[in-house]
Amino acid sequence: MSLPLTFYDLIVLRYVPVQLVFFYEYPHSKTHYIDSFLPKLKHSLSLTLQYFYPLAGNLTWPPESEKPIILYVNGDSVSLTIAESMNDFYHLSGDHSRDINESHSLVPHLPISDTVAPVLALQVTVFPNCGFSIGITMHHAAIDGQSLTRFIKAWASICRSGDSSSLSPDLLPFYDRTVIKDPSMLEKVYLEKLLKPTGLKTETECNNRSLLVLDRIAPPNAVRSTFKLSRADIERLRKQVLIRCDKDKQTRPLHLSTFVLTCAYVWGCLNRADPSKKINLFLFTADCRARLDPPIPITYFGNCLAARIISAETSDIIGEDGLAILGEAFSEAIRDLEGEVLRGMENASSAPEGPEAIFAVSWSNRFQVYKIDFGWGRPIKAEMITIDKLGTMSLFDGRDGDGGVEVGLTLNKQEMEVFTSIFANGLNDGN
């Protein structure tokens, strides 16, 4: 069985794989993990993959095919690595600043070559008498965060109940790709870009059908930290923007969601931490499923994202009215999404031109990963390892369930110290 890639998938064909890790507190012996925990987790994964069978397949680009496909053949499987760690579980699952390399062993490698690319790899790392982690590495061209989250939630549901027949319909994948319409011929645009030489030092120079991703190297001396914004923090930021807009007699309604306020606040703090960087561009993606005309099922399996880039002057970003200015800029971009979601998508696979630095957000607090319970409780921590290479921020729902959010960030150690101070002081001062 095979699934053709759509233009949404082709955009991210050569992107860095998505890597996530979830930490669960479960203080049991190694013997218990081997005899009870792991068999249940593996069996439920097998049952879940019967619904999500493309995840056990591979990306390939057959000579007779104009574009890559996800090919599933009977006998295909997902690589599941079982590891044991004697490292400090609570150190690795903490919010404090720590070396990014400490977590890299918790996510599996995805062995991508010119001709074949596995869709998914998983790793369970056991910390005896403390807990365990589930590491996920996913090829972005196969699915987006929405689809991946549904898979993880389906796996957790089956593991918790022990019965795959009781899986909720809102978790079952929808595979019909004929619902994806391409009136602007975006697929042709992306294929032409993909078939140009990439510069990869392999067969790619003469084989522009290569599936190799454009890997990136994490910055030296890098650390990762988690920052929290409570619901009360979000409300204070919203009030701050509304007061400023009221003074300026702003009449156009603003889209001051938790997502917008968090991204705007982090963007401002980053520029204050190092104004010389001039991070003038911010990229975010939005789910298109409900925005298309006609809408497609929310359970559609694959990528279905549109991107928008916001531009702002450094002086505005770090100025007294910075949060309000960025709030207005995000609101305008979101209005544009609601009007014509695919506008500008012909340039989506191209990097912005010019000297300005670009920042981006990965994942979404709407996915509610802190509700994912395999039967042994909810995660005590979720992290996105991908941000180490991409230089983006990750955004998760708050683990306390109070409407807050968690921001993951990777910076060099010195810059992280400055950012941490600015982030905290801005909330305390209301600036």
Domain ranges of the chain: 2-205, 222-429
Q: What percent of the chain has pLDDT over 90?
A: 81
Any bridge partners for residue 394, and if so which? 362, 408
Global pTM? Answer: 0.94
Asked whether the domain spanning 222-429 has the same topology as the one spanning 2-205, the reply is: yes
Confidence at residue 199, expressed as pLDDT on a 0 to 100 scale: 56
Fold of 2-205: Chloramphenicol Acetyltransferase (3.30.559)
pLDDT of residue 355: 47
- Average pLDDT score over residue span 120-143: 98
Measured between alpha carbons, how far is 102 from 91 in angstroms, rounded to an integer? 10
pLDDT at 431: 47
The topology (CATH level 3) of 222-429 is: Chloramphenicol Acetyltransferase (3.30.559)
Dihedral angle of Cα 318, 322, 325, 326, to the nearest 10 degrees: 80
* 7-38: pLDDT as tens digits: 999 999 999 999 999 999 999 999 999 999 99
pLDDT tens figures, 202-220:
444 445 788 999 878 888 8
Q: What percent of the chain has pLDDT over 70?
A: 94
> 17: which DSSP letter?
P
Instruction: List Cα–Cα distances, 104 to 55, 87, 100, 121, 280, in angstroms.
Output: 22, 13, 7, 14, 30
According to the model, what pLDDT value does residue 203 have? Answer: 43
Q: What is the pLDDT of residue 232?
A: 96
Q: What is the pLDDT of residues 140-190, one digit of tens each?
A: 999 999 999 999 999 999 999 998 888 999 999 999 999 999 999 999 999
Peptide bond preceding 294 in cis form (omega within 30 of 0): yes
Sequential DSSP letters for 79-120: EEEEEE--S-HHHHTSSS-EETHHHHTTS------SSEEESE
Most confident of 246-255, 333-342, 422-431: 333-342
* Residues with a known catalytic role: 140, 373
Reported for 96-103, long-range contacts at CB under 8 A and 24+ positions apart, including other chains, are 96/225, 97/223, 97/224, 97/225, 97/413, 97/416, 97/417, 97/420, 98/223, 98/224, 98/225, 99/222, 99/223, 100/218, 100/222, 100/223, 100/224, 100/388, 100/410, 103/21, 103/224, 103/383, 103/385
pLDDT for the residue numbered 250: 66
Residue 347 pLDDT > 70, yes or no? yes
The count of residues in the chain is: 431
CA angle, 140 as apex, 102 and 164 as ends, to 5°? 90
Confidence of residue 251 (pLDDT cuts 50, 70, 90): low
Q: Tokens representing 381? A: 């921590």
Q: What tokens does 403 get?
A: 């409407």
**What per-residue confidence (pLDDT) applies to 416?**
96
The C-alpha atoms of residue 190 and residue 185 are separated, in whole angstroms, by 9
